[in-house]
Chains A and B, each alone.
Chain A
Amino acid sequence: AQSVTQLDSQVPVFEEAPVELRCNYSSSVSVYLFWYVQYPNQGLQLLLKYLSGSTLVKGINGFEAEFNKSQTSFHLRKPSVHISDTAEYFCAVSDRGAQKLVFGQGTRLTINP
């Protein structure tokens, strides 16, 4: 069964600093990969997704992620964070042709002024 590991439960950074949130998944079969963001008391919103093609994927709010098949990773990055990026970020994976989205435990990103 698929599993997703988000290596950091919390990441504190200063405003305008770069950030990387790490995500590794278990399966070596073809997968679709997603990053979602959850603001306080809200549902999850899609940040970006990798389905095929270029391994560097750009999403909303200046975020991007790179798919690395050999390392089974899909790390999320932003070159300069803003206070409004404070939220919880979830990595998710689904096997191609399957319906199930399996989520990681989430990483809480805290931006300090």
Chain B
Amino acid sequence: DAGVIQSPRHEVTEMGQEVTLRCKPISGHNSLFWYRQTMMRGLELLIYFNNNVPIDDSGMPEDRFSAKMPNASFSTLKIQPSEPRDSAVYFCASSLDRGLGEAFFGQGTRLTVV
């Protein structure tokens, strides 16, 4: 398996634009997580899905952020409109077992909003 695949690896956009980050989890994994990493706040869990259903979105910063998982092999994180303070590295991770095993991380998307 190629692991968790995220695209794009880098995104530079202007304030106010819509940004969509994409993630393909490892085949067979039933949980998917979106994390945001910044120097100030470290690694924050934004939202996680189990069997394509959002379970906990309490980490989503505000209504400008939304996430979907239309099927077991694809998820998106959308920011609309984007703001400079959204600049961060966004990681997607997937795992197989509920609360037991490790989470496998993608390479991340470095988002810069200017």
Residue numbers of A with Cβ under 8 A of B are 32, 34, 36, 41-46, 49, 51, 90, 94-106
Contacts and interface: CB of A to CB of B under 8 A. Distances in A.
B105 A97 contact: no
Interface string B23-34: 000000001010
A16 B19 CA distance: 45
B48 A106 contact: no
A102 B35 CA distance: 10
Interface string B88-113: 00010100001111111111100000
B107 A43 contact: yes
Nearest to B43: A103
Contacts of A106: 42-43
B99 A97 contact: yes
Given A32-B99, A43-B4, A51-B100, A102 B45 contact: yes
